[in-house]
Structure 1
Amino acid sequence: MSTAELLRPAPYAPSVPLPAPYPGDTTIPLSLRPAHPNSSVADITAEIRALSDSGRIRDLLDRHGAIYFQGLGLPNADEFSRFAHAFGWTPHEDIGNPVRRTVLAPNVATANEGPNTMPVYPHNEFGLSPHYPAYNIKYQLFHANGPRDQTGSPGTTVLQAYGQHVLDDDDTETARRKIEAEISRLPGTTWKWENQSDVNQLGDLRVFRVLPAIRNHPRTGQPAFFNNAVSRFLNALSSDTLLPPHLNSEGEFQPPVFYGDGSLIPREYLDSAVEYIYETRALVSWRDGDVLLLDNHAVQHAREPWVG
């Protein structure tokens, strides 16, 4: 396989070989490294732009699903932003993200501002985004009312998730109307306001999303188990909230996922999914300046893979 003069395939120990029906010698991720160790960031960015414009990056993602770029030497978020924009893809817009993130540069943010004592279980990035009719899974997301700058919780407040158009002097009715307009941009999503009081006039927000568990890749047609069912299940398992009333030790509602009709998914199905994920995962070893490009086609549009 050849790419261009600057980036070349390179050995990478965490890569996992993919079985049939994938072609022989197909690994996830594919690893590329600059052929010259002193290559400038500007030269690497120009090469990425050329490879993306030619369709070569897209072909590699179709085959491997992920590309690990070694030895790029990207020193900061601004350089990473320039590298990410070189692919030419339309940036994703966050609507109703359940986790709190900090923006560091154009279209670059931290993954999650939760404490490092909290585990991050296997999940698909934006697997909670509502698209595509198929087999349904149902998620419940809870957003407490609170300030835009709250940092005491890994989750987002109502205003952080949906309040980007709410002004400080908006009355309750106007604020709710703007928030509900944002939620309405997400197909298959419903909501209800809870816990309104004199000291919580806006109220807390519970959001319900019914999403497909299996999604087909729009280019290859391959089915993908693309969702956040496993992470929600493992979170509930660790908190002992698998069964009703799904309340943790602090009285917070922390359910697993449900079928679209609201019934619980049998635990043995989710146990099997967890087992398969751990059997087939590739444990990427992060190093400063490296980039992992994941094909996220199954969740968004045909030109929106995510760089992370």
Structure 2
Amino acid sequence: MATSVKQLGANPPKLDSAPSPSLAFETFILPSSNQRVLGPPHQGDTVIPLALRPSTHDDIQVDLDTVIESIKSLQAQDGILTKKLARHGTLLFRGLPIYNAEDFSKFAHAFGYKPHEIIGIVVDRPFLAPNVAPANEAPKEVLIYNHNESPQVPHAPEYIFLYSYRAPAKGGEAPISSSLELFYRARQEIPEFITELAEKGILSRVIYKVDKQYAGGSTLKQAFGKEIRDGDDEATRRAKIEAQIARYRRGKHTTWEWTGDGLVLTHRLPAIRTQPDTMLPTLFTGLAAYYKNAQVNTGARKNVTQQLFGDGTPIPEKFLAHLAKITDEIRVLHKWQQGDVLVYDNIIAQHGRQPWEGEQSDRVVLASLFDGDSVPGAYGIGDWAQVVQALDG
């Protein structure tokens, strides 16, 4: 089957004729609130997200098997979709025959990536299909500001798939922004902050407790206790949790302290990393999110994660506020349509979740996380600056 991706142009793209029916993905233009042209260091006329929809010869019906075959065909052609992700940061697929978690799982796996295991998960994500879980179960009033996935722990996914099973009438948009553009702007506007990040990195302190700390949060057992069995005594339980922490392979740069109701884990991590192949620096972080979320969200969520400079000194609020200012200027808010799939290159694109009106059940977004063939490169000074993939376990 012939498969292609047509480029965005001034006029709606036309599907080239072919001797036999075939599926293509053609680009289309979204409203300016949902899509924008990226600034430096991105190539000129690069949009985020790149919006794709299926187009067929002779108006044949598009079925999921054909879509999956086409995705696999594109990826077999030197990873076309992976390269699109590396350029645009985010892809939107619209108009696909994806109706449930199982369909979404099949579509996401067609890209050929390795499913990501979250070690040290901080939110509750029960599996609904192979490598598919709710994106976030936090109450609808809770803002989840732009961030890269899992910036507070050493082991982060390279690719994030989000699927809109149900879209609210008002609110609940998915923020999209470029981590490459964020770094470029920050280096120009707050260079002293970037210098400190490069020299010191980040100390990320994450609290895990036996019981959930907030609605939608995880427990200590969910985070690190997959080997724990009924009947294990306290010493055995702790040893099994510590063995999971060791899978991070961070050595002295990950430490922990047991408390009466859980543990506190401290990582020294790079907030600046480099994109594979291009080696462009990317601000891989949730710093603006912690700042913005704390301003509007109340309760225990504020105290679960704390991030400092790598030497333990506080990060001045003026830097966090400026990161949020830049993010507000460069992001778009994707208005979901039921069935939409957003695919993020997590190394260079940030995501989030806006509050919505109505019922909690009015917005249902599922997530699927994957690892890539390589991890981001180092930018800072010291062995702490290079992240590694966790050990299989």
* Equivalent position SS for 1:130: coil
1:53 maps to which of 66, 72, 76:
76
Change (3 A) 1:295 1:252: closer
The corresponding residue for 2:239 is: 177
Deviations 1:202-247 (A, max 9, x none): x4111112211111001221111111112222233446xxxxxxxx
* Equivalent position SS for 1:105: coil
Deviations 1:97-154 (A, max 9, x none): 11111211101111122222221122111222316995511222111113xxx69632
Deviations 1:234-284 (A, max 9, x none): 233446xxxxxxxx8779845642111211001111111000001000211
Work out whether residues 143 and 205 of structure 1, in 8 Å CA contact, stay in contact via their aligned partners in 2.
yes
Counterpart-to-counterpart distance in 2, 1:102 and 1:180:
23
The corresponding residue for 1:35 is: 55
TM-score normalised to structure 1 length: 0.85
The corresponding residue for 1:277 is: 327
Counterpart-to-counterpart distance in 2, 1:251 and 1:72:
36
2:314 maps to which of 245, 252, 264:
264
Change (3 A) 1:80 1:126: same
Q: Could you tell me the percent identity over the aligned residues?
A: 36
TM-score normalised to structure 2 length: 0.67
Counterpart-to-counterpart distance in 1, 2:206 and 2:287:
13
Counterpart-to-counterpart distance in 2, 1:261 and 1:191:
17
* Equivalent position SS for 2:326: helix
AA aligned opposite 1:25: D
Shift of 1:29: 0.7
The corresponding residue for 2:6 is: 2
Find out whether 1:68 has 2:92 as its counterpart: yes
Change (3 A) 1:79 1:68: same
Query: Counting strand residues as a fraction of each chain, which structure ranks higher?
Result: 2
Shift of 1:53: 1.6
AA aligned opposite 1:281: R
The corresponding residue for 2:390 is: none
Work out whether residues 16 and 282 of structure 1, in 8 Å CA contact, stay in contact via their aligned partners in 2.
yes
Gaps of 5+ in 2: 8-21, 157-196, 350-369, 376-393
Cα RMSD between the aligned structures?
Answer: 2.7
The corresponding residue for 2:224 is: 162
Find out whether 1:18 has 2:83 as its counterpart: no
AA aligned opposite 2:210: N
Counterpart-to-counterpart distance in 2, 1:71 and 1:250:
39
Deviations 1:166-218 (A, max 9, x none): 001100000000001111212232111112xxxxxxx4111112211111001
Work out whether residues 91 and 304 of structure 1, in 8 Å CA contact, stay in contact via their aligned partners in 2.
no
Counterpart-to-counterpart distance in 2, 1:283 and 1:253:
27
Work out whether residues 125 and 133 of structure 2, in 8 Å CA contact, stay in contact via their aligned partners in 1.
yes
Counterpart-to-counterpart distance in 2, 1:106 and 1:252:
32
Work out whether residues 148 and 347 of structure 2, in 8 Å CA contact, stay in contact via their aligned partners in 1.
no
Change (3 A) 1:297 1:53: farther
AA aligned opposite 1:2: K
2:275 maps to which of 201, 217, 222:
217
Work out whether residues 100 and 114 of structure 1, in 8 Å CA contact, stay in contact via their aligned partners in 2.
no
Matches of residues 6-155 of structure 1 in structure 2 within 5 Å?
6-13=24-31, 14-36=34-56, 38-54=61-77, 55-130=79-154, 135-146=200-211, 153-155=215-217
Shift of 1:302: 3.9
Change (3 A) 1:250 1:115: closer
Change (3 A) 1:91 1:294: same
Change (3 A) 1:180 1:90: same
Structure with more relative contact order (C-alpha pairs < 8 Å, separation 6 or more)? 2
Matches of residues 232-251 of structure 1 in structure 2 within 5 Å?
232-238=290-296
Counterpart-to-counterpart distance in 2, 1:206 and 1:293:
32
Work out whether residues 93 and 341 of structure 2, in 8 Å CA contact, stay in contact via their aligned partners in 1.
yes
* Equivalent position SS for 1:179: helix
Work out whether residues 62 and 220 of structure 1, in 8 Å CA contact, stay in contact via their aligned partners in 2.
no
AA aligned opposite 1:164: K
Change (3 A) 1:145 1:237: same
AA aligned opposite 2:218: T
Work out whether residues 119 and 155 of structure 2, in 8 Å CA contact, stay in contact via their aligned partners in 1.
no
* Equivalent position SS for 2:318: helix
